[in-house]
Amino acid sequence: MSDGILVQQPSTVRPPSPRSPFITGLGIGQICSWGSLYYSFPLIAEAMRHDLGWSKTELYGAATLGLALAGLAAYPVGAAIDRGHGRLVMATGSVLAGVLLFAWSQVSGVLVFYLCAAGIGALQAATLYEPAFAVVARRTGAGHARSGITALTLWGGFASTVFIPLVQLLLDRYGWRDTLMVLGAINLVLCAGLYAGVINPGLDHPAEGHASSQDASRTTGSVVRWAMRQPVFWALAIAFTAYSATFSAFTFHLYPLLTERGLDSAAVVAAMAIIGPAQVAGRVVIWVLAPRASVRIIGSAIMLVFPVALLMLAELPPSFTLIAIVAALYGSANGIMTIVRGLSVPEMLTRQAYGSVNGALSAPSSVSRAIAPLGMAALWSATGSYDAVLLTLIAGTLVLAVSFWSAAILSRRAAQPVQVCHVQRSDLQR
């Protein structure tokens, strides 16, 4: 670094157990945040389409805008958490999300709907996995965050299982406006309460929490600049951007893609239902069988699964059995990929300024996740078939694999700055 060096501080603080109230509270909050802010949108949008007569383009354009705004917010949110403001960020984000859900329940025009839905999308940067991972890394120290992050993904994996049927039940009984009121209350009371209660900056790992705010800001900026000069950073950025684009496009277009290939809607829905449990199963396998395996090894192995699954879908005759196998493969790999994303920064790049560095990596991923479904829709419109879309998705998974493998190789040779306190060179020369 240009103005100082970093010296390791020993710590006797024991990281919280994955079963601790801290991880449990964050985990329950993640189920509710993911369920109310992310998984609920397609169901509510469909109900609004029937009630208000709006087009899918109008409805999903708001979600796209929100995801793009989340990408822009990712770095400042991560930097704020690195400065010790995790409780403020996540609790306030949930309060604002609750208020916007209440406002959304009263909309009758497209403009106000866009303001509400786009705002909720942007607040995902302050309430979903990335900020939660950063909070865990700050509490445990980035070098000890693995078990906490893995446990958190197990909790989050149940969000769709819990909230999709819950939201559908509420829609059937009370309609979309009252459903949004319930979701708003969940954010205001449960999510905000949990994040305010379990996130305590006073319990942060000593190496993370003892610098002054001015020193922390200067050190964070130096670490981010250092990280962005490393080839590993850009290889990971390309990999995660390709992954986010492929995942988003595949998720949004899977239903019409499969029906176009001749499967009936009941079979498609049944196959898609496999993806969620497969994600949790994949994470459990890593938790039980490979708790200490390098993220380089885990990530490098699962990179093969994505192109293989999509190639099977493209080349083999469509049947429910095939689609179920593809869904299981894709779901389990996707579940493990969430862990890989959460651990790649501390294990492959740097253990410092986790929130800021991870936020910088997440920004292009969020933007690609926002625009990929629209891009694939345009490609389908231009070609009149999902064949070109599927080939493009396969190409995206190959970019993902090659980029991550490159990052894994480069990270073995990368010199990582060691976490801790800022010490002026002049102090060491006395």
Domain map of the chain by residue range? 5-421
Mean pLDDT (whole number) for 34-55? 90
Question: What is the pLDDT of the chain when averaged over all its residues?
Answer: 85
Tokens of 52: 């208000």
pLDDT of residue 9: 44
pLDDT of residue 181: 98
Separation CA 170–CA 176 (nearest Å): 8
Task: For domain 5-421, give the CATH superfamily.
Answer: MFS general substrate transporter like domains (1.20.1250.20)
Count other Cβ atoms within 10 Å, centred on residue 424. 11
- Given a contact cutoff of 8 angstroms between Cβ atoms, the answer to whether 400 and 97 are in contact is no
Mean pLDDT (whole number) for 227-251? 93
Note the pLDDT tens digit of each residue in 102-113. Answer: 999 999 999 999
Q: By three-state DSSP, how is residue 420 classified?
A: strand
Report the share of the chain in percent with pLDDT over 70. 88
Q: How confident is the model at residue 218 (pLDDT cuts 50, 70, 90)?
A: low
pLDDT of residue 413: 66
CA atoms within 13 A on the CB side of 81: 36
Q: For 5-109, where are the alpha helices, taking DSSP H only?
A: 21-34, 41-52, 56-82, 86-104
Tokens of 22: 């801290």
Phi, psi of 353, rounded to the nearest 5 degrees: 45, 50
Residue 428 has pLDDT above 50, yes or no: no
Separation CA 62–CA 110 (nearest Å): 9
Mean pLDDT (whole number) for 115-134? 93
Residue 6 has pLDDT above 80, yes or no: no
Query: 8 - beta bridge partners?
Result: 420
Residue 19 has pLDDT above 90, yes or no: no
pLDDT of residue 271: 81
pLDDT of residue 205: 67
Higher pLDDT, 272 or 332: 332
Alpha carbon distances (Å) from 239 to 97, 341, 405: 30, 10, 9
Higher pLDDT, 182 or 415: 182
Q: How confident is the model at residue 203 (pLDDT cuts 50, 70, 90)?
A: confident
DSSP character string of 140-207: H-GGG-HHHHHHHHHHHTTHHHHHHHHHHHHHHHH-HHHHHHHHHHIIIIIIHHHHHHH--GGGS-HH
Residue 53 has pLDDT above 80, yes or no: yes
pLDDT of residue 109: 93
pLDDT of residue 423: 34
Full-prediction pTM beyond 0.75? yes
Mean pLDDT (whole number) for 277-282? 90
pLDDT of residue 328: 93
Q: Long-range contact list for 312-318, CB < 8 A, 24+ apart?
A: 313/390, 314/387, 314/390, 314/391, 314/394, 318/258, 318/261, 318/262, 318/263
